[in-house]
């Protein structure tokens, strides 16, 4: 991943690399310049790529950090990530995806006076509804709800939150929901027209 990333960003130029430049480089990386039109990487793969590139640039001292940007509940998120790695043995891709999703949720609901225990199921339902209105599929929302449920289950075990995990409901998934219910009206009209031409 780092070899591919290094081909998409100029590391010899003066100045540090910004987070926006990392995202641009990941989205336009050289390896996939000739991929078929319409092909897309999964969201989790993209987040993993960004996470690895960011950590590498920070290690090298090439990363332009974003000062003053609030990062609420960082200790809780990192504790959760460590638990996923050390106790549950989850893959780096899963850990990265869940960390990013939890961080985004907490940054969305965060207020200066808000504690983790004050977050309600209504906050979570509103967040899931908002993401759904932005075009997230039921499968993506189901995965997001699983990540939130896993985090709050961990938070409850640590005494940071109370009774939220069991109340988080993911949208129901159906095995064949991506299949069309029937032919389109245009296909029906073409079929009728083909019989009419035989008369």
Domains and CATH numbers, the chain: 1-69 (no CATH), 70-172 (1.10.150.130)
Which residues lie closer than 8 Å to 80 by C-beta, 6 or more apart?
A: 98, 99, 102, 150, 151, 154, 155
Question: Highest mean pLDDT: which of 61-65, 149-153, 163-167?
Answer: 149-153
pLDDT reading at 157 higher than 90: yes
pLDDT tens-digit readout, 88-121: 998 888 888 888 889 889 888 887 777 888 899 9
CB-neighbour burial class of residue 68 (10 A; exposed 0-12, middle 13-18, buried 19+): exposed
**What confidence score (pLDDT) does residue 33 get?**
44
pLDDT band at 188 (very low <50, low <70, confident <90, very high): confident
CA-CA distance, 83 to 100, in Å (whole number)? 15
Instruction: State residue 63 phi and psi, 5-degree precision.
Output: -90, 130
Q: How far apart are CA 114 and CA 99, in angstroms?
A: 20
pLDDT at residue 136 in the model: 82
Q: What is the pLDDT of residue 181?
A: 64
Task: Indicate the range of 11-25, 36-50, 97-111, 159-173 predicted with least confidence.
Answer: 36-50
Least confident among 10-19, 24-33, 159-168: 24-33
When pLDDT is averaged across residues 186-190 and rounded to a whole number, the result is 83
88 vs 58, higher pLDDT: 88
Q: Is 60 exceeded by the pLDDT of residue 199? A: no
**pLDDT value at 156 more than 60:** yes
pLDDT of residue 38: 44
pLDDT of residue 169: 86
Q: Which of the pair, 47 or 120, is modelled with greater confidence?
A: 120
Q: pLDDT class for 17, splitting at 50, 70, 90?
A: confident
Question: How buried is 141 (Cβ within 10 angstroms: 0-12 exposed, 13-18 middle, 19+ buried)?
Answer: middle
């Amino acid at each position: 991943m780092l070899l591919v990333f290094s081909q998409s960003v100029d590391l010899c130029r003066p100045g540090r690399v910004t987070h926006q430049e990392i995202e641009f480089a990941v989205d336009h990386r050289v390896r996939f310049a000739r991929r078929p039109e319409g092909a897309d990487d999964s969201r989790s793969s993209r987040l993993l790529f960004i996470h690895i590139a960011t950590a590498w640039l920070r290690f090298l001292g090439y990363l332009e950090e974003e000062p003053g940007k609030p990062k609420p509940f960082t200790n809780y998120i990192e504790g959760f990530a460590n638990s996923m790695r050390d106790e549950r043995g989850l893959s780096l891709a899963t850990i990265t995806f869940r960390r990013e999703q939890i961080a985004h949720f907490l940054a969305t609901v965060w207020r200066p006076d808000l504690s983790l225990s004050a977050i309600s199921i209504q906050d979570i339902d509103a967040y899931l509804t908002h993401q759904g209105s932005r075009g997230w599929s039921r499968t993506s929302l189901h995965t997001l709800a699983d990540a939130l449920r896993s985090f709050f289950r961990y938070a409850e075990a640590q005494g940071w939150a109370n009774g939220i995990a069991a109340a988080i409901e993911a949208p129901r998934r159906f095995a064949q929901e991506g299949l069309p219910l029937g032919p389109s009206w245009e296909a029906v009209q073409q079929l009728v027209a083909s019989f009419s031409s035989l008369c």
